[in-house]
């Protein structure tokens, strides 16, 4: 009896995990750098969906600064997405560290 109940609970958790993983894959996260001069949007924490650069951020004499802003905005968006994904997964797993989920 206990085993059957445990199996049912595991199956329910698997359904919830699948749903959360689908949500995470579609999740859009954005971040900015340079006071909003550069905005990066990522999908699922791993794919850059869009990058917006304000005209005033484009200085032909300082391309390095623009590159740094792009990297900063993209990395921040990805970090936010990963933290949000981890929090969503933890809400299903109860904080258990299940190998292979993230």
Which tens digit of pLDDT belongs to each residue from 49-84?
A: 999 999 999 999 999 999 999 999 999 999 999 999
Percentage of the chain lying above the pLDDT 70 cut: 91
- Does the residue 80 lie in any domain? yes
For residues 52 and 59, give the distance between their C-alpha atoms in angstroms, rounded to a whole number.
Answer: 15
Residue 25 maps to which CATH number?
3.30.1310.10
| Residues facing 33 on adjacent strands | 38
For residues 63 and 69, give the distance between their C-alpha atoms in angstroms, rounded to a whole number.
Answer: 10
- Does the residue 99 lie in any domain? no
Average pLDDT over residues 88-94: 83
pLDDT in the model for residue 78: 95
Query: Cβ distance 48 to 42 under 8 Å?
Result: yes
Q: What is the CA radius of gyration of the chain?
A: 19
Q: Provide the domain count of the chain.
A: 1
Residue range of the domain that includes 31: 2-93
Q: What is the dihedral of CA 90, 94, 96, 99, to 10 degrees?
A: -50
- Does the residue 15 lie in any domain? yes
- Does the residue 100 lie in any domain? no
Which tens digit of pLDDT belongs to each residue from 14-36?
A: 888 899 989 899 999 999 999 99
């Amino acid at each position: 009896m206990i085993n059957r109940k445990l199996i049912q609970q595991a199956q329910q958790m698997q359904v919830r995990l699948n749903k959360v993983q689908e949500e995470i894959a579609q999740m859009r996260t954005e971040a900015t750098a340079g006071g909003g001069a550069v905005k990066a949007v990522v999908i699922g924490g791993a794919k850059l969906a869009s990058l917006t650069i304000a005209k005033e951020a484009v200085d032909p004499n300082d391309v390095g600064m623009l590159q740094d802003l792009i990297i900063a905005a993209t990395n921040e968006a990805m970090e936010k997405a990963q933290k949000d994904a981890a929090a969503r997964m933890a809400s299903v797993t109860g904080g258990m560290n299940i190998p292979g989920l993230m």
